[in-house]
């Protein structure tokens, strides 16, 4: 369980290791940060200051968006410009807005430098857009959920970077919103006061596509063993979210065989394993899954050719399923895979063919870099959309709060492994809520980090976690393996926004800064004339 | 990793421990008394503390004991916060300790470590200040029993090498009605922005505070204001806050003004508990 959540994407310790190794004549060296050094000097999430203007007409239809993002990526650029580009490409959130101006400036500061962190800028952009949408709803006196529903992007609309969106690319944000409203019981009311306590609910919707290079790819090798089982070689590294299980499931489903008979080779040998771009961007299932399907198709073709010899028919009349190759017109005529996967042996001992090894390789398709001046282009292959909600219990006497419930509905395209899918989304929600309520690097005026120890840098403890409610919508992604979309980062994306929306309502002040803490609410309330 | 060498001793009597301390100190080894280690180990790892010898006091029976003694209760300095809470002998001390750290750490952090350590909040001392605890000290001259008010003023002030063996509290205080209010930045288990412990001594409410000032304190003048029923509670709280204001700390956990706000809330909650009979 777990993950690196982007922390391995930046180049940091590698530089030191190279320098240290050179100093000792190229011998191996080991670099280990202590926790305090890691927090202070290894890359963290990017900070941002964002200015948003949203224009709507009298009916509530969003007409124009202007957004300026100053991205604090610390002392080195590293992933900063790519995060900026990712924010730009999805800047509107899942809304159809005709007129969009978005500028994202990566700013060098004397803060700890930033790298990718679960969401790749989308936690920031979602927070800003979704807080603005709630304010718009308040000034139009509209239900925030209804205002969102009427403005959600739909197939046929144009993406912020100027291409026409299809259902396969988008999924169904409206269905996610409807489902999350039910989970959080939105229509039962959003604010309720009982003495000094206020119960309040907040919503957020989001979308995210990947920001990979246009040639990011993956590959897989499917090797049949003597007993008919399969060894699957892949290049992507398991860092927590059960990628190997997913890989085995995809391979087994494509071959119509028991998942127990698929052995995913581990650990990854970079000397021998086919290359996988990176285990990042919620793209592993998509890229690796496609590579596995391509390798399985290649293996099936080889099996078909070998079985055709034995069954005296054309390979195209055969099908592979359940450890057998059989005739489509008469499944009673079959040959076991294990009897042909080392090559077909004639009765007199002559053998033809050889071990069946399927290979598959894919890259992203039709992605472009964004035009430098217009921002036009296509950053990712599809979106994963979702809706989230939070219910808080706010204490008006000391401004403390508890998160009672948190709900997420994602359009997963196809849920491959329900238990793992719910778990990865809940994990993301916990991370998002922890960031939204506790986490944030604090610096003194000279840029020195103040929180370099887990004594004071608190993550949400287990006893403080809310009840998690998770659900999936399945709108197939035509290019994804079995229709799947990535879901790894998305649980975190809208949590801060939904929480701040709930607490802003509960406390009657605008909470526009993360993390939201009782002290910040107290400050806002103190500024407010009574 | 602790980046320096040190020697380890585990004496079985307070006398041995204190003698060992002085011998080691004389040979220049910079010894430290060691209980749970949560502070020493982490500070040593981070390079904030060096020592040449560790004298583990957990094997000394008086340091480890948690027990009733007639009309008194006794807590050894090496008793963990967890053990003290489970004993139920001094519920206010138990509750205060249970909010100092997560469960895992409650089973390591000792009473003596929390009181004598360098982490400034020292919340475990609050109930002891309220209960006029007697502190059992061992020095080269032998065992002594002194009032907590003689040796604790913001921090524990003992002669070098003196060992805090344990604390003794009269049952009338240990079982008195009490209140505990802790306000943190966000996470439930964290250092206090303000912690207030209150204890009912024959209808007179004593209280002690951690988090607001650099060090924990109990102030008899403030207690008089707190108990002055001629004024309404809110005004009493306001007056106390004004008197406390000059020493309020600003740091990453909260600004001085916010600390004072939460301190006042904590006082008001104690008043409310008292009014509603919620003190147990």
Cα dist from B174 to A335, B48, B224, whole Å: 82, 36, 22
B77 belongs to a structural domain: yes
Query: Do B154 and B241 have their domain in common?
Result: no
CATH number at residue B169: 3.30.465.10
Q: Are residues B42 and B67 in the same domain?
A: no
Domain end: B154, B174, B194, which one? B174
From the CA of B44, how many Å to the nearest CA of chain A? 12
Residues of B in contact with A437 (CB under 8 A): 186
The residues near A155 (Cβ < 8 Å, ≥ 6 apart) are: A165, A166, A167, A170
Q: pLDDT digits over A321-351, tens only?
A: 999 999 999 999 999 999 999 999 999 999 9
B33: domain CATH number is: 3.30.43
H or E, element range at A17 = helix A13-23
B78 lies in the same domain as B162? yes
pLDDT of residue B1: 83
Find the distance separating the first CA and the last CA of chain A, reported in whole Å.
49
Q: How confident is the model at residue B239 (pLDDT cuts 50, 70, 90)?
A: very high
Q: Give Cβ neighbours of residue A267 (< 8 Å, ≥ 6 apart).
A: none
A217-363: CATH topology: Aldehyde Oxidoreductase; domain 4 (3.30.365)
Packing angle between helix A122-140 and helix A80-89, nearest 10 degrees? 40
Cα of B25 to nearest chain A Cα, Å: 31
Q: How confident is the model at residue A281 (pLDDT cuts 50, 70, 90)?
A: confident
Instruction: Tell whether B107 and B132 lie within a shared domain.
Output: yes
| CA distance to partner chain B, nearest, from residue A84 (Å) | 29
When scoring A394, A466, A519 by the number of chain B Cβ atoms within 10 A, the one with the most, hence best to mutate, is A519
Query: Are B67 and B163 members of one domain?
Result: yes
ipTM above 0.90, yes or no: yes
Q: Strand A318-321's sheet: what is its strand order? A: A318-321, A324-327, A330-336
pLDDT band (50, 70, 90) for residue B6 = very high
Last residue in a domain, options B136, B153, B174: B174
Paired residues of B156 in beta bridges: B152
User: Are B216 and B234 within one domain?
Assistant: yes
Pair B89, B164 in one domain: yes
Q: Could you tell me which CATH class the domain A13-212+369-527 is placed in?
A: alpha beta
DSSP secondary-structure letter at A371? P
Is residue A530 over pLDDT 60?
no
B261–A456 CB contact, under 8 Å? no
A498-520 pLDDT, tens digit each: 999 999 999 999 999 999 999 99
Radius of gyration in angstroms for the set of CA atoms belonging to chain A, rounded to a whole number: 26
pLDDT digits (tens, 9 = 90+) for A31-73: 998 888 999 999 999 999 999 999 999 999 999 999 999 999 9
Residues 6+ apart with CB under 8 A from A81: A106
A528: pLDDT strictly greater than 90: no
Range of the domain at B214: 178-275
* Res. A3: pLDDT tops 80: no
Q: Is residue B79 part of a domain?
A: yes
pLDDT of residue A240: 79
Of the candidates B252, B258, B265, the beta carbon closest to that of A450 is on B252
Mean pLDDT of A446-451: 90
How much of chain A, in percent, has pLDDT values that exceed 70? 99
Q: Which residues of B touch A456 (CB under 8 A)?
A: 190-191, 252-253
| Residues B81 and B159 occupy one common structural domain | yes
Taking the C-alpha atoms of residue B279 and residue B273, their distance in angstroms, rounded to an integer, is 6
Ordered strands of the B72-76 beta sheet = B66-69, B72-76, B163-170, B134-139, B142-147
Quote the minimal CA–CA distance from B271 to chain A in Å: 14
- Examine the domain organization and report whether B77 and B162 are in the same domain: yes
Residue A270's pLDDT is what? 80
- Chain A residues near residue B45 by CB distance under 8 angstroms: 34
Residue B1 lies in a domain: no
- What chain B residue is nearest to A396 in terms of C-alpha separation? B265
Task: Name the one residue in this structure whose structure tokens are 């996988």.
Answer: A276
**Which is higher by pLDDT, B76 or A373?**
B76
- CATH 3.30.365.10 positions along chain A are 13-212+369-527, 217-363
Mean pLDDT of A467-494: 97
Spatial contact of B233 and B225, defined as CB atoms under 8 Å apart: no
- Averaged pLDDT, A212-241: 92
Partners of B261 on chain A (C-beta within 8 Å) are: 398, 522
Residue B269, min C-alpha distance to chain A (Å): 10
Give a three-class secondary structure readout of B49-98.
CCCCEEEECCCCHHHHCEEEECCEEEEECCCEHHHHHHHCCCHHHHHHHH
Chain B residue with CA closest to A443: the answer is B252
At residue B147, the 3 state secondary structure works out as strand
- Contact in structure between A211 and A230 (CB atoms under 8 Å): no
- Say whether pLDDT at A27 is over 80: yes
**Considering chain A, what is the average pLDDT of its residues?**
94
Under 8 Å CB pairs connecting chains A and B tally to 49
Q: Say yes or no: B111 and B17 in one domain.
A: no
* Continuous segment of H or E residues that includes residue B203: none
For residues B136 and B215, membership in a common domain is answered with no
| pLDDT (average), residues A446-464 | 90
- B271 CB neighbours in chain A (<8 A) are none
Using the predicted structure, report yes or no on whether residue A455 has a pLDDT greater than 90: no
pLDDT band at B200 (very low <50, low <70, confident <90, very high): very high
| Beta strand B7-9 pairing with B53-56 | parallel
Domains: count for chain B: 3
| Residues B192 and B138 placed together within one structural domain of the fold | no
pLDDT bin (cut points 50, 70, 90) of residue A269 is confident
Q: Which residues of A touch B252 (CB under 8 A)?
A: 442, 450-451, 456
Compute the mean pLDDT over every residue in chain B, rounded to the nearest whole number. 96
For A179-189, what is the mean pLDDT? 98
Chain A residue with minimum CA distance to B105: A455
Query: Which chain A residues touch B if contact means CB-CB below 8 Å?
Result: 34, 36, 397-398, 400, 437-438, 442, 450-451, 453, 455-456, 458, 460-461, 463-464, 515, 517-519, 522-523
């Amino acid at each position: 369980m777990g993950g690196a959540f982007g922390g391995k994407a930046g180049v940091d310790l590698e530089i030191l290791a190279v320098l240290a190794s050179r100093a000792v004549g190229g011998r191996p060296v080991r670099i280990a940060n202590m926790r305090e050094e890691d927090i202070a000097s290894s890359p963290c999430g990017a900070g941002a200051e964002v200015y948003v203007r949203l224009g709507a007409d009298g009916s509530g239809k969003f007409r124009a968006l202007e957004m300026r993002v100053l991205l604090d990526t610390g002392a080195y650029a590293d992933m900063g410009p790519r995060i900026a580009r990712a924010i730009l490409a999805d800047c509107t959130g899942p809304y159809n807005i005709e007129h969009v101006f978005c500028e994202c400036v990566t700013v060098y500061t004397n803060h700890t430098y930033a790298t990718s962190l679960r969401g790749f800028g989308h936690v920031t952009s979602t927070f800003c857009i979704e807080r603005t949408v709630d304010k718009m709803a308040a000034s139009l006196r509209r239900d925030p959920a209804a205002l969102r529903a009427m403005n959600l992007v739909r197939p046929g609309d144009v993406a912020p970077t100027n291409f026409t969106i299809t259902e396969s690319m988008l999924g169904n944000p409206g269905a996610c919103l409807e489902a999350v409203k039910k989970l959080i019981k939105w229509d039962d009311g959003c604010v309720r006061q009982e003495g000094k306590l206020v119960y309040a609910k907040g919503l957020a919707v989001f979308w995210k596509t990947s920001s990979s290079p246009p040639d990011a790819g993956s590959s897989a090798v499917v090797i049949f063993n003597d007993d008919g089982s399969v060894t699957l070689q892949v290049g992507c590294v398991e860092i927590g979210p059960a990628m190997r299980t997913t890989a085995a499931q995809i391979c087994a489903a494509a071959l119509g065989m028991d998942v127990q008979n698929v052995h995913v080779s581990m650990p990854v040998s970079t000397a021998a394993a086919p290359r996988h771009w990176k285990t990042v961007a919620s793209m592993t299932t998509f890229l690796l899954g496609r590579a596995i399907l391509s390798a399985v198709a290649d293996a099936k073709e080889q099996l078909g050719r070998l079985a055709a010899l034995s069954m005296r028919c054309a390979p195209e009349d055969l099908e592979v399923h359940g450890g057998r190759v059989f005739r489509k017109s008469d499944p009673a005529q079959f040959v076991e895979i294990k009897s042909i996967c080392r090559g077909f042996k004639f009765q007199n001992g002559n053998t033809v063919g050889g071990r069946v090894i399927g290979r598959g390789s894919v890259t992203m398709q039709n992605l472009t870099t964004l035009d430098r001046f217009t921002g036009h282009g296509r950053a990712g292959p599809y979106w994963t959309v979702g809706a989230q909600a939070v219910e808080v219990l706010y204490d008006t006497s000391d401004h403390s709060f508890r998160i009672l419930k948190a709900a997420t509905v994602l359009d997963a395209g196809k849920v491959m492994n329900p238990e793992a899918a719910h778990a990865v989304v809940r994990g993301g929600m916990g991370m998002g809520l922890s960031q939204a309520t506790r986490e944030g690097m604090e610096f003194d005026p000279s840029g020195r980090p103040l929180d370099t120890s887990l004594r004071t840098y608190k993550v949400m403890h287990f006893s403080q976690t809310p009840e998690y409610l998770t659900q999936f919508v399945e709108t197939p992604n035509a290019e994804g393996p079995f229709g799947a979309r990535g879901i790894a980062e998305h649980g975190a994306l809208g949590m801060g926004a939904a929480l701040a929306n709930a607490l802003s309502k509960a406390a009657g002040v605008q909470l526009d800064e993360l993390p939201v803490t009782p002290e910040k609410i107290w400050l806002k309330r103190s500024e407010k004339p009574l | 990793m602790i980046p320096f060498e040190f020697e380890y001793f585990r004496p079985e009597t307070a006398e041995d421990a204190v003698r060992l301390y002085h011998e080691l100190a004389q040979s220049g080894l910079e010894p430290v008394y060691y209980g749970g280690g949560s502070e020493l180990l982490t500070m040593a790892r981070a390079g904030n503390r060096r020592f040449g010898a560790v004298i583990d006091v957990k094997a000394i029976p008086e340091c480890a004991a948690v027990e009733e003694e007639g009309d008194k209760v006794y807590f050894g300095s090496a008793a963990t916060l967890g053990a003290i809470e489970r004993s139920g002998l001094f519920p206010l001390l138990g509750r205060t300790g249970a909010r100092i750290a997560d469960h895992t750490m409650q089973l390591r952090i000792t009473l003596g470590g929390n009181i004598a350590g360098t982490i400034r909040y020292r919340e475990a001392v609050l109930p002891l200040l309220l209960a006029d605890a007697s502190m059992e000290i061992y020095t080269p001259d032998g065992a002594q029993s002194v009032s907590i008010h003689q040796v604790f003023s913001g921090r524990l002030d003992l002669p070098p090498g003196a060992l805090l063996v344990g604390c003794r509290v009269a049952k009338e205080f240990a079982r008195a009605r009490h209140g505990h209010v802790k306000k943190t930045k966000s996470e439930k288990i964290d250092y206090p922005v303000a912690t207030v412990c209150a204890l009912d001594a024959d209808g007179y409410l004593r209280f002690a505070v951690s988090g607001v000032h650099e060090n924990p304190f109990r102030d008899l003048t403030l207690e008089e204001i707190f108990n002055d029923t001629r004024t309404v509670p809110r005004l009493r709280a306001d007056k106390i806050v004004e008197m406390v204001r000059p020493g309020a700390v600003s740091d990453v956990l909260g600004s001085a003004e916010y600390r004072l706000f939460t301190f006042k809330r904590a006082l008001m909650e104690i008043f409310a508990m008292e009014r509603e009979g919620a003190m147990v």
